[in-house]
Chains A and B, each alone.
Chain A
Amino acid sequence: EPEVTQTPSHQVTQMGQEVILRCVPISNHLYFYWYRQILGQKVEFLVSFYNNEISEKSEIFDDQFSVERPDGSNFTLKIRSTKLEDSAMYFCASSAQGARSNQPQHFGDGTRLSIL
């Protein structure tokens, strides 16, 4: 069964450094998402992306965050200047269609980001 693939599985970064988390969505999917899960808390939506632009973002997704689809297969999340509170598990997801469709979001295994 097709999968969403995320790399790396674990990223350790010094506070203030930039970090890029990478995702390869399922190949025929057109909608892409990032979520995060701070340890012990619920999974939170960050951003959705369709047709090379952000379609929705949460209040968490401030100017320090950006997303990009640099080529036909990768979908990246960049954090420009990391803070301690950015430490979390980051999940990428993709779906064949967007909201109000019967196509669910499929998630990757996540990247654990640790900020020192």
Chain B
Amino acid sequence: AQSVTQPDIHITVSEGASLELRCNYSYGATPYLFWYVQSPGQGLQLLLKYFSGDTLVQGIKGFEAEFKRSQSSFNLRKPSVHWSDAAEYFCAVGGDTDKLIFGTGTRLQVFP
């Protein structure tokens, strides 16, 4: 079955600390992978995407993610978190159909 698992429902970090949000997927075809961010009352903003090539991809706002095929993972990282990064983060997989399959999201809270 096609699915995305985000094992951390809620993460709290201090401003300036590093961040890693986990994402594991199950997908029958070659996956295209995405991270979206949703601030309160806002829509889904694309942070970064992986289609092929270099497995470490850079995104907006200083985020990066690494595709590890052997682990079926696409974890999101940021070396130093800012208070404005507080939001909900969604991992998604797609590729062989129009449908994107989303994870349940990870809510990030940032303490000053």
Q: Do the beta carbons of A56 and B44 come within 8 Å of each other?
A: no
Cβ contacts B48-74/A at 8 Å (1 or 0 each)? 010110000000000000000000000
B27 within 8 A of A: no
| Interface residue range, chain B | 20 to 34
Is A43 in contact with B90, judged by CB distance below 8 angstroms?
yes
Contact with B along A1-31 (1 / 0, CB 8 A): 0001010000000000000000000000001
Residue-wise interface mask of A (81-106) relative to B, using a CB-CB cutoff of 8 A (1 in contact, 0 not): 00000000001010000111010111
User: Residue of A at shortest CB range from B105?
Assistant: A42
| B87 at the binding interface (Cβ < 8 Å) | no
Interface size bracket, A side: 20 to 34
Is B100 positioned at the interface, with any CB of A under 8 Å from its CB?
Answer: yes
* Option from B36, B96, B99 in Cβ contact (under 8 Å) with A107: B36
Beta-carbon nearest neighbor of B94 in chain A? A99
Contact status of A99 and B43, CB under 8 A, knowing A42-B103, A104-B49, A107-B36: no
Q: Does B25 contact A (CB under 8 A)?
A: no
Do A108 and B43 form a contact, CB below 8 Å, given A42-B103, A43-B90? yes
- Which B residues are in CB contact (< 8 Å) with A93? 44
In the complex, residue of chain B having the shortest beta-carbon distance to the beta carbon of A6? B43
Once the chains bind, are A31 and B46 in contact (CB under 8 Å)?
Answer: no
Q: 11 A-B pairs, CB-CB below 8 angstroms?
A: A4-B43, A43-B102, A44-B102, A45-B98, A48-B99, A55-B98, A56-B99, A91-B44, A100-B96, A102-B51, A105-B46
For the complex with contacts A99-B98, A104-B46, 4 further pairs of A-B residues with Cβ separation under 8 Å are A55-B98, A99-B95, A104-B34, A105-B100
Residues of B within 8 A of A (CB): 34, 36, 41-46, 49, 51-52, 90, 92, 94-105
